Structure 1
Amino acid sequence: MGTLRKLALPALLALGIGTAPAQAALVTNGDFETGDFSGWTQGGDFATDNVFTAPGHVYDGTYSAALGTLTGSTLSQVLNVVAGQTYTLTFVLANAPGNTNASGNNAFSVTLGDETFSLPDNFVAFDYGTFTIEALATSDTLNLAFSFLNNPSDWLLDNVTVETAANAVPEPTTWAMLLVGFGVVGTSMRRRRQVLSFS
């Protein structure tokens, strides 16, 4: 996997936050309800990544993924799609809500096909929000990959779905509103060195 890049603010504005659709068949075990990472390929230092059930930390159902390695890890799948079709990735994510240390050493990126989005480095703690990103399939497979590090806390991930864009209709709320709400638009959005690189 190549180096992950950050998107400039205009690209952030194009990404929506909405209500997660029902679990799509394209992603295997996107809700982690198997209680493990079945269907996913793990990479990097994933020793502390786990699927867990904990009151107040699971978004939906019984399990959510807790991702918090010290040096960075990945979670990925190769999806069977139709070339030329646009697909929408939807997922819910939290940065250890209630943990005052959650804005420590952390980074989060997601890639769908040729589209990559990264949160600013050392992002603040926040409760679950629903995020979407769209990508055009240029072949009959589409790579989905999450890359992250979080020390001393955890990213909480759940309800990962990929659907054709026509079937996924996010609400008009934008990433910009999320970032403004956290008060991080400005210095946090400056271009910095690339955050994560995995081979």
Structure 2
Amino acid sequence: MRTKLLALLCALLACVSVQPAQAANLLVNGDFEQITVNRSSIFDSAPNSRPWGPNGPSDNIQQTVVGWESIGFNFVMRPGDVDTIGAVSPYAGANLILWGPGNGVANGLTGSPTGGNFIAADGAFRNGPISQTVSNLQIGESYTVKFWWAAGQQKNFLGATTDRWDVCFGTCDFQVNNAPDGYGMFLNGTVKSSSTVALPDKGFSPWKEESMTFVATAQTQKLSLLAYGTPLGQPPFALIDGISLEGGIVPPVAVPEPSTWAMMLIGFFAVGATLRGRRSIHVPRSARQQII
């Protein structure tokens, strides 16, 4: 009898399905909430080594975005600042502000759909990427980059613009353009581009989600994201937030299907009922002797 019960339990457990585990975000601070100075400002990993001249805040209070490196004219924006007080720039008394409702332009500009801080990057002036190095990758496995992005135009400049994001996964060495107005380029790595949006004068392109898949070629690689905009001299700005990198082989976990849970419960009740039944008909030795 015990053998039959054991066989029943084994059959039920065999019905448990194996499902992939939830993929984890391999990036640090993909929402840009962790910053060292609580204000909106430009951030550059080496602000005094660029060919264009100083590329840090005009008051020399350097900003750091945890986990990220920056080369170009890239700003971390706190909620509500982008079209009001703006962000501290390399130019004293000239904060970086985009056209929007906060300065009287009803173009629909909003903050990030994920909430909190986001990045605003000039796609045609002091052009350079934000980057993060990722380790423990599995060579030959696929990794998917997802992010939210939008586009706008710097206040006090006029004219139609275009914007996109170029995303590099690999070594991603970058060559800056020595002239402030102009475009840098990735020298290596796999590069993919988002869709391109076209904006009217003082326009805004609403936030949308983008997804790209890459194959790892090394255990440690860099993820770099570069704003690219046109034309020169009419500052096109691309915004980005909620960046994630997921993929690789994730160990599976056993998860019972709903129908399996029902079968297991029925089986456990059946086992319990059988054991109780056997106990109920058991007659003590002394009682059997009295019957005889």
> Normalization by structure 1: what TM-score?
0.59
The residue number in structure 1 matching 2:142 is 86
Max Rg structure: 2
Q: Is the 8 A contact 2:151 2:239 kept in 1?
A: yes
Cα RMSD over matched residues? 3.3
Distance, in Å, in 1 between the alignment partners of 2:127 and 2:215 is 27
1:108 aligns with 2:146: no
Q: Is the 8 A contact 2:140 2:216 kept in 1?
A: yes
Structure whose residues are more often strand by fraction:
1
Q: Secondary structure, in 3 states, of the residue corresponding to 1:49?
A: strand
Distance, in Å, in 2 between the alignment partners of 1:61 and 1:23 is 22
The residue number in structure 2 matching 1:182 is none
Shift of 1:116: 1.6
Shift of 1:156: 1.2
Shift of 1:138: 1.4
Structure whose residues are more often helix by fraction:
2
Q: Is the 8 A contact 1:64 1:157 kept in 2?
A: yes
Q: Secondary structure, in 3 states, of the residue corresponding to 1:71?
A: coil
Distance, in Å, in 1 between the alignment partners of 2:77 and 2:29 is 11
Percent identity between matched residues is 21
Q: Secondary structure, in 3 states, of the residue corresponding to 1:29?
A: coil
The residue number in structure 2 matching 1:158 is 241
1:51 aligns with 2:77: yes
Write the mapping of 1:161-176 to structure 2, written as runs, cut at 5 A. 161-164=244-247
Q: Of residues 46, 61, 65 in structure 2, which corresponds to 1:37? A: 65
- Which gives a bigger RCO, structure 1 or 2 (Cα 8 Å, sep 6+)? 1
Q: Runs in 1 of length 4+ with deviation above 4 angstroms? A: 99-103, 119-122
> Normalization by structure 2: what TM-score?
0.42
In structure 1, the gaps of 5 or more residues are 1-21, 168-199
Q: Is the 8 A contact 2:120 2:240 kept in 1?
A: yes
Q: Secondary structure, in 3 states, of the residue corresponding to 1:96?
A: strand
Shift of 1:121: 6.9
